[in-house]
Structure 1
Amino acid sequence: MASGRSLEVVLAVLPTVARTAQASGAEMSDIALTADALANSLGITADKMQEAFDILAFEGKAGKFELKDMAAELPAIAPAFAALGYKGTEGLKRLVAMLEIVRNQTGSSAEAATNFSNILQKAYGNEVANNFKKYNIDIRRELDRTRKEGGDVIETLVEQTNKALKGDLSKLPLIFTDIQMQQGMRALLTQMPELKKHLDALGSASGTVARDFAQITGDSEGNWQQLINNIQKTATALGDLSGRALNPTLEKVNDRLSDMMAVDKGYEALRGSGRDPLSYAAEFKDRFNKQHPELGMFDRFTGASAEKAFRDALAQLGRGEIKNIFDALQTK
């Protein structure tokens, strides 16, 4: 994971990598390589990495393409996917949803990954372009236009294929001669409504890894501490190798882990009340915004300040510093 990255960046992502690996049963090395691929290819930053792994974990539980399979395959797929213009966590949602759709019609996750990779690598190929020309379609121009407009390139490929074949999938080999590409395209062509369902469902991905981790470990202080100790050992080893003093960075890692633990406990407290945590969040953020009329329009639109305040309140609740989530709000 340290390929060309500063040690501070690696350590910032390490808690997320460790918890995701433990929650999913995947190899930590695979999760680390996935984090590196997501950062390098899709531009996902350290502060968005937990959101990214929540997306992977959620989709992995929703279908046949499990998170541990994604961790093994994504490092090879992500660069080609990003080359078509996909970026960030929104791009990642489309990647995992498409992989799941292709997986529905294949015998294994590895086979699905191969079929989808062939689509990514050959969509702009000469053979595909020439075959589309027989139907008076300049597929490269169509894909380029979509990419420049920030649209979904693969979806455009599917739409133009439908346009050319008029829904007759028996003619699919006339455009895509590669067998694996045919299989991948057939899966996408027949399941586009299902793809939309997956994308819509991914809006609820937040917190998936934390919930899985809590379920596996029993959410006990001891298990959290064991995870912290393991990360400390890894970080210390990295420090020994680099010959640098890492105490300040290790303190930041520990602080972040402690905060993650407190937030999870805060969520557990909300769930234990019998009220939906999302309802708490909505009310908290509404009150927060009303108490802070000085917030700008952009801040109110993104909800960044309210989201941070809610997370801080969860941490306070988890640490026992407040008895009610709303106690964290300023009183006037």
Structure 2
Amino acid sequence: MDRNLRIKFLLEAIDKVTAPLRDISTGSGKAGAAVDATRARLKELDQTTRNIAGFRQLKQDVETSAAQMRAAETRATELGRQLAQTATPTAKLRREFEQARREALALRQRHEGNSTSLQAMRQKLNDAGISTRNLASHERDLRTQTARTNTELQEQADRLRRITDRESRLAAGRAAHARVQGIATGMAVGGATSMATGAAMGAPLLASAKQAMEFESVMTDIAQKADLGRAASRKMGTELIKAATAANQFPASLQQGVDVLAGFGLDPRQATQMMEPIGRAATAYKAEIADLSTASFASIDNLKVPFAQTARVLDIMAQAGKSGAFEIKDMAQHFPALTAASQALGQQGAPAVADLAAALQIVRKGAGDSASAANNLQNLLNKINSKDAAKNFATFGVDLPAALAKAAKDGKTPIEAITELTSKALGGDMAKLSHLFNDAQVQAALRPLMQNLEQYRQIRAEALGAKGVVDTDFADRLKDGAEQAKAAEISSQKLALTLGAMLLPTVNAIIGKLTALANRLASWAEQNPRLAKTIAWIAGILAGILVVLGGLAIAIAGVLAPFAALSFIAGALGMALLPVLGIAAAVVAGIALVVAAGYLVYNNWDQIAGFFKGIWDTITATFTSLFAMPGKFIQLGIDTIKGFITGIASMIPEVGKAISNVATRVVSGFKSLLGIHSPSRVFAGLGGFMMDGLSQGLATGQQAPLRQITTLAGGLAGAFAVGSAGAAPATTSASASQAAAAMVPQVSASTSYNITINANGTGAQDIGRQVREAIEQIEREKAGRAFRDR
């Protein structure tokens, strides 16, 4: 059998064997993809339905919040009118007014938020092709689409179940495949798995040691800034790990805070004690430990707050942040500059912290953001004792330095004093504020302070009396899932650092011994170069042997893998494995025989070449005498082909003439029969009618028109055949009649003609011409009768 045929046969056999498996796999994939797509569409429809319901709820919320907002604003306006009309308003009236104003502001913010959400939902629906002006119609369409999609999903699920049932029949094959494949895989990766297991077991210990080294290195950096010993460094590290657990912060983050404070010159041991309250505040309010550390140091350094009162300072800042929009994380960023300006005015202690924190809440009312508010307040603090301010106040009859000194004796802070003095000097007319302070930032700070002086005092008093605020908020923050997950990670790091600290002495000792051993080996190799080279060669050879053995293991696994595949196919198709293995073994044996035969041929080529050379010499001698015969046969073939071509060429004019005569007679016949001058127009209409009839015929019965077309094609082919044979010698009259009849196109399957022609001594062309003329005469008579009948 030819080699190409054998390959083709083998490929076809493989294709037939694996075709059922491919069909099942492809069908399952397509069915699964269809189910997924339908589920996605159903999910999209469900989401759109929920969006419509959400839009309606938001619309209702907007209407409700609008009504509540208008009511609250009306009440605030009424209380404001009462407050303005009352000469000495009561504190209750002021509180009610402030409460009503805050409620109105909160309701306005809520209404604006609802309106924004409503607009966003409207846009989302518009993007999905849902008009909010006709929600009822869209909901009906969605219900219809959802029902249709559910039906499609059920049908697809049924189809997928059928495919799954079909796939389940392959379970036995897969199980057998898995067993054999498992053996091969185990041999291929067994060694690598053992190495990976060892590495996995040692990885946590190595990671713990590495974290402990990094933590120890940072503690050494901190200790060096204060010339502390390693014992003090370890003690601070232990305290930081405890503080990190108590504050739900990573030890490295607290190290950063200590490093910041130590960089400012604070004793690292004191900084370590401050880390727990700072870390708890950072957790409670999501502030940066570095910022809170800087703010705490500013309170200690600028305002002379004892470092032991760090927790109290943070409580004051947190409480004040709850009373306004300037939060504790914002204070942490701006306190260093503000406390320095406050210190220049003689402020100290926790009351100074409360004063700044309360003022920031009020100044924030007149600023676009916290940074602007802090900048405005700092400008005010810097300009209180300026010469320009004293000069401007003097024009209003106020001795500013003396007035500030008297206010300080009365227990008032510079912020409180300058606000009162400004309001008194201007008589409450803030339009003249620029007459006292030209600085726009100072004016921006004073306006809200003048308007909300009592609220500023109230916030300050509440902040100064705050206690346990950070701890309460910290406990509440720990209930968050994110913080609980963070706590688990912190505990893991704590364990790693603890274990690492225990392992460090051992690790350091091992590293030291390995280093010493490496140094000794290097010295020995320098002293014994030849022996060292010999050992290196032995190690290289051993490595090569191991590589070869590993390659053999992989090769064995590669041999087992095809047999695993054969096992799978046999199980899938319900075939016994032994015959399949027999076939595979036969194929392998055949390949081995071919290889062996090739080897034998290669080794004995001289003898084989001599044997075949003798045979070839005999064949050459035998055919030498017959060498002239090929030339004769070639010439005979050339003559035959030339004659055939000449005969065909000589008949071409006759064929063309016959076709021309037929075409001329057909055109003339139609012109005379129908009395028309332009057959093309008539035939165009007839062609249209024919196509309509063909379409109707195809609709009612496809086979009949096909048979008609086939019959017509056969008639045309016969006509051309007769035309081509026109120049041939006349045979019998019966043959000539048959040839002439073949030239006549079959108009329809139901049309028949009875024509009698005397063919004696008549050529085929004359007989064909007579037949055509007779048919044309019959058709003209039929057309005339049909025309008269109309």
TM-score band, normalised by the shorter chain? 0.5 to 0.7
Paired with 1:62 and 1:103, the residues of 2 have a C-alpha distance of 11
Matches within 5 A, 1:11-50: 11-50=272-311
Q: Which residue number corresponds to residue 265 of structure 2?
A: 4
CA offset at residue 62 of structure 1? 2.4
1:86 corresponds to 2:380: no
Structure 2 residues not aligned, in runs of 5+: 1-260, 498-790
Deviation of 1:208 after TM superposition, in Å, equals 1.4
Letter in 2 for 1:226: I
**Counterparts of residues 275-294 of structure 1 (less than 5 Å):** none
SS in 2 for 1:20: helix
Change (3 A) 1:227 1:41: farther
1:109 aligns to 2:392 (yes or no):
no
Per the alignment, residue 98 of structure 1 pairs with 359
What is the alpha-carbon distance in structure 1 between the residues aligned to residue 291 and residue 484 of structure 2? 26
Q: Map residues 241-256 of structure 1 onto 2, 5 A cutoff.
A: none
CA distance in 2: counterparts of 1:229 and 1:151, whole angstroms: 50
Do structure 1's residue 144 and structure 2's residue 408 form an aligned pair? no
* Deviation, structure 1 residue 28: 0.9
Deviates more, 1:164-173 or 1:154-163: 154-163
Question: Alignment partner for residue 325 of structure 2, among 64, 69, 91?
Answer: 64
Tell me the equivalent position of 1:195: 456
In the aligned structure 2, how far is the partner of 1:227 from the partner of 1:80?
Answer: 42
Amino acid at match of 1:183: A
- Give the aligned partner of residue 133 of structure 1: 394
Contact between 1:34 and 1:75, CA under 8 Å: does it hold in 2? Answer: yes
How far apart, CA to CA, are the structure 1 residues paired with 2:359 and 2:433?
19
Structure 1, 106-115 or 141-150: larger mean CA deviation: 141-150
Change (3 A) 1:108 1:14: same
For the pair 1:223 / 2:223, whether they are aligned, the reply is no
CA shift for structure 1 position 204: 5.4
Q: SS at 1:63's partner residue?
A: coil
The answer to whether the aligner puts 1:180 opposite 2:441 as a matched pair is yes
Compared CA separation, residues 92 and 124, structure 1 to 2 (3 A) = same
Tell me the CA shift for residue 141 of structure 1: 2.1
User: For the residues of structure 1 that align with 2:341 and 2:464, how far apart are their CA atoms?
Assistant: 25
Distance 2:299 2:355 in 1: 13
Q: Give the partner amino acid of 1:177.
A: N
SS at match of 1:42: coil
Corresponding letter in the other structure for 1:136: G
Contact 2:373/2:445 (CA < 8 Å) preserved in 1?
Answer: yes
Query: CA 1:137–1:227 in 2, change beyond 3 Å: closer, same or farther?
Result: farther
Q: 1:205, CA displacement in angstroms?
A: 2.5
Cα distance in 1 for partners of 2:371, 2:377 equals 10
User: What is the aligned counterpart of 1:167 among 404, 408, 428?
Assistant: 428
Q: Is the 8 A contact 1:84 1:147 kept in 2?
A: no
Structure 2 letter corresponding to 1:159:
E
| Equivalent residue letter for 1:69 | D
Q: Classify 1:76/1:19 alpha carbon distance in 2 versus 1 (closer, same or farther; 3 Å).
A: same
Runs of 4+ in 1 over 4 A off after TM superposition: 219-222, 227-230
Residues 119 and 171 (structure 1), Cα distance of their counterparts in 2 relative to 1, 3 Å cut? same
How has the CA–CA distance of structure 1 residues 203 and 209 changed in structure 2, closer, same or farther, with 3 Å as cutoff? same
Any conservation in 1 of the 2:376–2:445 contact (CA below 8 Å)? Answer: yes
Structure 2: how far apart are the matches of 1:203 and 1:46? Answer: 17
Does 2:385 correspond to 1:121?
Answer: no
Mapped to 1, the partners of 2:493 and 2:453 lie a distance apart of 45
CA drift at 1:224: 9.4
1:222: how far off? Answer: 8.7
In structure 1, which of residues 51, 56, 67 is the aligned counterpart of residue 312 of structure 2? Answer: 51
What is the rounded CA distance, in whole Å, between the counterparts of 1:202 and 1:82 in structure 2?
Answer: 19
Distance in 2 of aligned mates of 1:149 and 1:167:
22
- Does structure 2 conserve the Cα–Cα contact (< 8 Å) formed by 1:23 and 1:213? yes
CA distance in 2, matches of 1:131, 1:227: 62
TM-score (norm 1): 0.65
| Rg (Cα) greater in structure | 2
* Residues 221/106 of structure 1: CA separation in 2 closer, same or farther (3 Å cut): closer
Question: What SS does structure 1 have at the residue aligned with 2:473?
Answer: helix
Matches within 5 A, 1:226-241: 226=490
**Residue deviations 1:255-279 (CA, integer Å, cap 9, x gap):** xxxxxxxxxxxxxxxxxxxxxxxxx
Structure-1 separation of matches of 2:420 and 2:462: 23
**Is 1:18–1:227's contact at 8 Å kept on the other side of the alignment?**
no
**CA-CA distance at 1:144 after TM superposition:** 2.9
Q: Deviations over 1:236-290 (max 9, x none)?
A: xxxxxxxxxxxxxxxxxxxxxxxxxxxxxxxxxxxxxxxxxxxxxxxxxxxxxxx
1:77 aligns with 2:338: yes
Shift of residue 221, structure 1, vs aligned partner: 12
| Aligned-residue identity in percent | 32
Cross-structure match for 1:205: 466
User: In structure 2, what is the Cα distance between the partners aligned to 1:40 and 1:228?
Assistant: 36
Cα deviation, residue 197, structure 1: 2.3
Counterpart of 1:154 (choices 412, 415, 427) is 415
Give the TM-score normalised by the residue count of structure 2: 0.28
CA distance in 1, matches of 2:441, 2:492: 44
Does the CA-based 8 Å contact 2:280-2:474 persist in structure 1? yes
Structure 1 stretch 140-149 or stretch 11-20: which is displaced more? 140-149
- Tell me how many residue pairs correspond in the alignment: 232
Q: 1:145 to 1:134 in 2, by over 3 A?
A: same
Return the alpha-carbon distance in structure 1 between the equivalents of residues 419 and 349 of structure 2.
22
